[in-house]
Amino acid sequence: MRPRSRATLLLAAFLALALLLPLGGCAPRSAPEDTAGDGGEDTVLLGFSQLGRESAWRMGNSRDIQEAAERAGVQLMYDNAQQEQENQIKAIRSFIAYQVDVIAFAPIVEQGWDTVLTEARDAGIPVLLTDRFIVTEDPSLYVGYVGADFLAEGRKAGAFLVEKADREGLEDLKIVELSGTLSSTPMQQRSSGFREMIAGDARFEILETVSGDFLRSKGKECMIALLERHERIDVLFSHNDSMTLGAIEAIEEAGLRPGEDIIIITVDGEQAAIDLLQEGKINCVVECTPMLGDIIMDLTKKLAAGEEIPRVTHPEEDVFCEFDADLMDIPPRGY
């Protein structure tokens, strides 16, 4: 572990710093929202910046990380960035001031991290990305990534649509896509993977792609607009369940039957989406598990001990669809 003062002494020092720095106009935004762990002398300190609370997936991810830290005896400084990159940058700087052992964060967008992550590297603090990647010309700014294979998720979504068209003899399918936050890793890779699977197949045409920012309210708003703009929509590919739930509201309000009049493919695997899959209102759910906490804590401990970790770590993920024989036996999702 990198030499530093013990957790309890650091906390007092950080709080003192927080009181003094506002006079110079460069204080961290706030003390951490939450801590976990016993705070003992050998406790590993992890600073974690979550991008927000935009969905049940994200809240499940936050809860899992907090519970995993408790189980692992890792002291957790948790910060909610409330969907603002500026808040995440401030949180990372507060973690640096606090001299945590490891920084982990789920970046809101891919660009704009080089300066603050250079500060972390210069302070000797390894940075772990989770859930999303960043774009940088200096790969040494982070030591590893934990999260889904978004490109594979997009491919799974596309593979389901191809299989459904093959099974049912479907032709001339008009597709609309509800994408996630622009410039985010899942938005770009899910879209690329999906397109890769249907490319060159004359049965499929993507009419339009609009961003719903992974939000239920925007998913509904965007779907209303799509239904108004297009005379016929046969398929909806949505990048997350929250947007899908909003879109289904819009589809039903338009007098259409989700899952029948419009084939619906969604990503995440929230309980609400699985329920609708079982009701026949969703045709395919591509899993993107938020349960990353134990992996993050294991890698955090290794980094704090000076060990090397894999550059990329993906959890195991599944696909649930209307063709599954055990569709009604899916265990509770927990998010």
The tokens describing 308, both together, are 């090397």
- The predicted-structure confidence for 82-118, as pLDDT tens digits, reads as follows 999 999 999 999 999 999 999 999 999 999 999 999 9
Q: Label residue 14 by pLDDT band (50, 70, 90).
A: very low
> CA 186, 192, 196, 201 torsion: positive or negative?
positive
Count the neighbouring beta carbons within 10 Å of the beta carbon of residue 174.
16
Residue among 203, 262, 259 at smallest CA distance from 232: 262
Does position 48 have pLDDT exceeding 90, yes or no? yes
Q: Label residue 125 by pLDDT band (50, 70, 90).
A: very high
Taking residues 219-240, report their average pLDDT: 98
Taking residues 37-52, report their average pLDDT: 82
What is residue 38's predicted lDDT score, i.e. its pLDDT?
52
Taking residues 57-73, report their average pLDDT: 97
Whether residue 302 contacts residue 144, with contact meaning beta carbons closer than 8 Å, is answered with no
Give the residue with greater pLDDT, 21 vs 133. 133
Q: What is the pTM of this model?
A: 0.83
- Distance from C-alpha of 115 to C-alpha of 121, rounded to nearest angstrom: 10
* DSSP per-residue letters across 122-162: HTT--EEEESS----S-GGG--EEES--HHHHHHHHHHHHH
- The predicted-structure confidence for 248-272, as pLDDT tens digits, reads as follows 999 999 999 999 999 999 999 999 9
Q: Which helix (H) or strand (E) holds 9?
A: helix 7-20
Whether residue 151 contacts residue 267, with contact meaning beta carbons closer than 8 Å, is answered with no
Residue among 315, 313, 331, 296 at smallest CA distance from 44: 296
Taking residues 6-20, report their average pLDDT: 41
